[in-house]
Copies of this chain bind each other. A is one copy, B any other.
Amino acid sequence: MDELDLGVFSEALEKSKTVILGANCSVKYSGRAESSLGFGDRVVIIKSDKTLLVHQPTGSNPINYMKEGSVHRIFKEGKQLIMRSSNIALKEFMDICIKKVYFFNVRGLEDNEKIQLNGTEQHMAEMIYNNPALVEKGFRPLSMEEHTKFGFIDVFGYDRENTLVVIECKRYSGDPKAVDQLKRYVEKVREAKGLVKVRGILACPKLSPAARQMLEKEGFEYRFVKPPKYLEKYDADQKKIGEYSDSDA
């Protein structure tokens, strides 16, 4: 379908179908920020929830977009087509000026599936909670991923000397921001409990030089922990992880 039938387009939006458009176009956007993009070949997608994406032929992210619930209409202006989108609630506006249409697809799509994802920071916290020896012998977790009154702490517990321990997990490299975050939680716990000594531990598979320096300066500790991957071994009912040794306990 090389031609863009305005009636088909309007009907597609009305019926919450998905629209895919390959076209040479330019884009102007104004809302939270402002942007301008000259003419080039792009893929434009309007989803059933009225999300609009403009994709260049390279890169992971859309170069321009409008959020869910936007309103789109299309009209002729001389030889060109204008696709005008607006989201009044968010005060966002976009004009796509279309010079040439390469392809045009309309299709109702149905998808009620949700993704199951493993190896996130939350899974790291669970793993540590269920395998305290990953931190150290005698560590006794109290909570994980909980909105405590001290903030959202990944893993919270006592060490063998009954000193409180705050653990911040990062699934990738520990960086200055992660140490900032750990420090903020540790200080909040110290103040709230009136304690002098609360331990802070950063658990991640890697540590940046600046982060290491900050950790040392604050008297915090580092533990090498990798996010768990257990797609085949994962039991959705039990959520048990049996492959991590507790031999140090």
For the complex with contacts A22-B105, A33-B120, A40-B112, 12 further pairs of A-B residues with Cβ separation under 8 Å are: A20-B22, A20-B105, A33-B171, A35-B115, A38-B113, A39-B113, A40-B113, A43-B45, A45-B55, A47-B57, A60-B65, A64-B115
* Interface size grouping (class) on chain A: 35 or more
Q: Which B residues are in CB contact (< 8 Å) with A227?
A: 33
Q: Given contacts A41-B109, A48-B58, A51-B59, are A231 and B20 in contact (CB under 8 A)?
A: no
Inter-chain contacts of A114 with B (CB < 8 A)? 37
Binary CB contact string for chain A from 80 to 122 against chain B (1 if under 8 A, 0 otherwise): 0000000000000000000000110101011111111111100
Residues of chain B within 8 A of A248, CB atoms compared: none
Interchain CB contact under 8 A, A48 and B57: yes
Min Cβ gap A209→B in Å is 13
Residues of B near A45 (CB, < 8 A) are 43, 55
What is the distance, in angstroms, from A41's C-beta to the closest C-beta of chain B?
A: 4
* Cβ-defined contact, B115 with A42, below 8 A: no
**Chain A stretch 4-42: residues in CB contact (< 8 A) with chain B:** 18, 20, 22, 28, 30, 32-42
Residue among A39, A56, A64, A229 with the highest chain B CB neighbour number at 10 A = A56
Q: List 14 A–B pairs whose Cβ atoms lie within 8 Å, in order of A's numbering.
A: A18-B57, A33-B118, A33-B120, A34-B230, A35-B115, A35-B118, A39-B113, A41-B111, A51-B58, A56-B113, A58-B111, A177-B181, A180-B180, A180-B181
Q: Taking each of A28, A32, A39, A117, which has the highest tally of chain B beta carbons within 10 Å of its own beta carbon?
A: A117
